[in-house]
Structure 1
Amino acid sequence: MTSAKSPTLSARIERWPIAGAFTISRGTKYEAVTVVAEIALGDHVGRGECLPYPRYGETPDGAQAALLAMRDMVAHGLDRHALQAAMPACAARNALDCALLDLEAKRSDRRAWDLLGRPQPKAVTTAYTISLGSPETMAEATAVAAHRPLLKIKLGGEGDVARIAAVRKAAPESELIVDANEAWTPDSLERNLAACARAGVTLVEQPLPAGRDEALALIQRPVAVCADESVHDRSSLEGLRGRYDAVNIKLDKSGGLTEALAMADAAKALGLDIMVGCMVATSLSMAPAMLLAPQARFIDLDGPLLLARDRDHGLRYEGSLVHPPAPELWG
């Protein structure tokens, strides 16, 4: 039996139109389909959002079902620490982890970073993503965004040397990071890395498929390489030795902020730089990730900038400067 004073968990699927289209090496999407977890207790409601990712076998329906399966445990007092063992690392666990922390912050009238003993996040510069396309199309999109200090360029394999050169010409002053989303091969790796070096690219994200990235340890890397699909939570960090220089920590991969913060500490101890990343989602997904920003070399939290509209009380963006969340949004 549960009482009226027991927390009640609900979960719903939401659809958020993307402004235009968002294209990477695996395809094009026109909307972000997110799953929101809400935990109500008394006058307070804690919220968390996730974006289930097909690359990892996740679906919105599956994530919603996984959340609803946790209702009894939540009603009986499940906390963030017990959650880590109760669910595997996945997008659904992220939504629940963040909802539990949001509820704790609201009930205690304290900010989430204070509860966690973490530094208060400050406004930081986020990358702005240029979708994959022809060199000409990408150059046009880059020229419009060339005033932004940090651009993240989506690449796709064949033709990437031309894309890199075209983008750099269109944005001569911006810092560039590129994301191949596993689209390169061992045969193209050194050629593409050399093109990135010539263009002054700072970081190359996930050039080779996860599980088939041995070639990264066999070459001299002229540009720092960041793991994304090859790294999920702390258990996957050790396998990056000799292959990667940085890790992209995303809450949907790590299974929530609780694990993501521990993962950032462990990555730093291994000498790895940190990128805090995101899926294309609303500010409710970005807000918890802001707590990772003080440890990160790169911030990639531009999801709401790619949407046709954001939710109420969304993060405040001034150009590429993103501010910490208001308590009305999260935490």
Structure 2
Amino acid sequence: MTTASRTALKLSYRCDPMRMKEPFRISGYLFEGIPAVIATLGDGRHQGRGEAAGIYYLNDDYPHMESEIERVRDAIEQGADRRALQKLLPSGGARNALDCAFWELESLQQKRPVWELAQVSWPRPLVTTFTLPAEDPAYLQARLPGFAHARAIKLKLSGDLAADAARVETVRRARPDAWIGVDANQGFTSNDLDALVAMLVAQRVSLLEQPLRRGDEEALRGWRSPVPVAADESILNLEELEQLGELFQVMNIKLDKCGGLTEALAMAALAKRMGLQLMVGNMAGSTLSTAPAFVLAQLCQLVDLDGPSSLADDPLAYSIYEDGMIMVPAAYWGHP
């Protein structure tokens, strides 16, 4: 990977409310929208864009991202590049927005596609999960006809084992053909694990994402699950992957967590060396936030990039999904 030459840049950004089509429930939260920052870096001829929603469970919201961007404005406008950015800001939404803006700017300046700069394969359509909220079975039953196109479904759990069992059974009964994964969003305790996994095995569930609270990962040491367990909230960045990766079988890399495509690619390389399956997800962002994640997705076995489909105001969302697959054209973000 190369970086742009050290030239003065113009930095601007704005807030987008990222309204959802309907409220979305997960364990402990109900979202009606996830306000995002959209950053732009211009050199007078080209403009690079990056979008970030931050990390909701760490209070990395729009005001925090705005303050972080302002903190490094002078350094960036005076010539700091993408490599310098990794030291200027910690992992999180602000660095993600700026890092991705740098990637697109470099791609346009060098007239090379981002996937080529990132040294990944030519982008191809990929199966993505489509996500159902942690609502009651009647609600899910009513929603499932709209998921007929989905080859892979991710179901949010609430942390109530009996209620979650009913949710999973509802989805499996309606879609006996589909790949199904569940996301607990930190909703369970270690005492729940055996019963939870037994239920998932009975319903042919293929993935258990983030069953325990961030900070409780040691409870997984020595525990063997027949269903692969994925880290999401537990592992934000490269440093935490080095510390905790051995406790999981799957690493869900999100650009908002790790602070951009630059660190995401480094995490993917390390996770592969550790023998972990690679998964990419996003924080319900628009097509703009999904574009760099789709570059990373070319390296992943599991793809969870349905975020744009849940938004009320993304006019491009329907154009990137077909037959349960996602394809973000290279021309949308960066040099085609």
TM-score (norm 2): 0.92
Alpha-carbon distance in structure 1 between the residues aligned to 2:302 and 2:245 = 20
Question: Which amino acid in 2 is paired with 1:95?
Answer: A
Aligned to 1:299: 303
Question: Which amino acid in 2 is paired with 1:259?
Answer: E
Q: Could you tell me whether the CA contact under 8 Å between 1:34 and 1:50 is conserved in 2?
A: yes
Question: Which amino acid in 2 is paired with 1:105?
Answer: S
Alpha-carbon distance in structure 1 between the residues aligned to 2:171 and 2:85 = 44
Change (3 A) 1:312 1:166: closer
Alpha-carbon distance in structure 2 between the residues aligned to 1:215 and 1:287 = 35
Q: Could you tell me whether the CA contact under 8 Å between 1:24 and 1:155 is conserved in 2?
A: yes
Q: Could you tell me whether the CA contact under 8 Å between 2:149 and 2:324 is conserved in 1?
A: no
Change (3 A) 1:86 1:175: same
Alpha-carbon distance in structure 2 between the residues aligned to 1:72 and 1:310 = 32
Q: Could you tell me whether the CA contact under 8 Å between 1:9 and 1:68 is conserved in 2?
A: no
Aligned to 1:166: 170
Give the one of 316, 321, 331 matched to 1:327: 331
Aligned to 1:120: 122
> Does the alignment pair 1:110 with 2:112?
yes
Q: Which secondary structure does the structure 2 equivalent of 1:70 belong to?
A: helix
- 1:62-107 per-residue CA deviation (whole Å, 9 max, x = no partner) reads 1012112222111221111111111111110000000011111112
Q: Could you tell me whether the CA contact under 8 Å between 1:80 and 1:100 is conserved in 2?
A: yes
RMSD: 1.7
Question: Which amino acid in 2 is paired with 1:283?
Answer: T
Q: Which secondary structure does the structure 2 equivalent of 1:160 belong to?
A: helix
Q: Could you tell me whether the CA contact under 8 Å between 2:35 and 2:61 is conserved in 1?
A: no
Give the one of 38, 51, 54 matched to 1:52: 54
> Does the alignment pair 1:196 with 2:203?
no
1:92-107 equivalent positions in 2, closer than 5 A? 92-107=94-109
Q: Could you tell me whether the CA contact under 8 Å between 1:248 and 1:274 is conserved in 2?
A: yes
Aligned to 1:78: 80
In the TM superposition, residue 329 of structure 1 has moved relative to its aligned partner by: 3.6
Alpha-carbon distance in structure 2 between the residues aligned to 1:69 and 1:216 = 38
In the TM superposition, residue 138 of structure 1 has moved relative to its aligned partner by: 2.0
> Does the alignment pair 1:207 with 2:216?
no
Alpha-carbon distance in structure 2 between the residues aligned to 1:69 and 1:211 = 29
Alpha-carbon distance in structure 2 between the residues aligned to 1:248 and 1:125 = 16
Question: Which amino acid in 2 is paired with 1:56?
Answer: L
Alpha-carbon distance in structure 2 between the residues aligned to 1:313 and 1:327 = 15
Give the one of 248, 251, 259 matched to 1:247: 251
In the TM superposition, residue 143 of structure 1 has moved relative to its aligned partner by: 4.2
Q: Which secondary structure does the structure 1 equivalent of 2:165 belong to?
A: helix
Percent of counterpart pairs with the same letter?
38
Number of corresponding residues: 327
1:256-275 equivalent positions in 2, closer than 5 A? 256-275=260-279
- 1:173-214 per-residue CA deviation (whole Å, 9 max, x = no partner) reads 110010000001112111111111111111100001111133
Change (3 A) 1:64 1:147: same
Q: Could you tell me whether the CA contact under 8 Å between 2:255 and 2:264 is conserved in 1?
A: yes
Alpha-carbon distance in structure 1 between the residues aligned to 2:292 and 2:270 = 19
Q: Which secondary structure does the structure 2 equivalent of 1:9 belong to?
A: strand
Change (3 A) 1:163 1:146: same
Q: Could you tell me whether the CA contact under 8 Å between 1:178 and 1:203 is conserved in 2?
A: yes
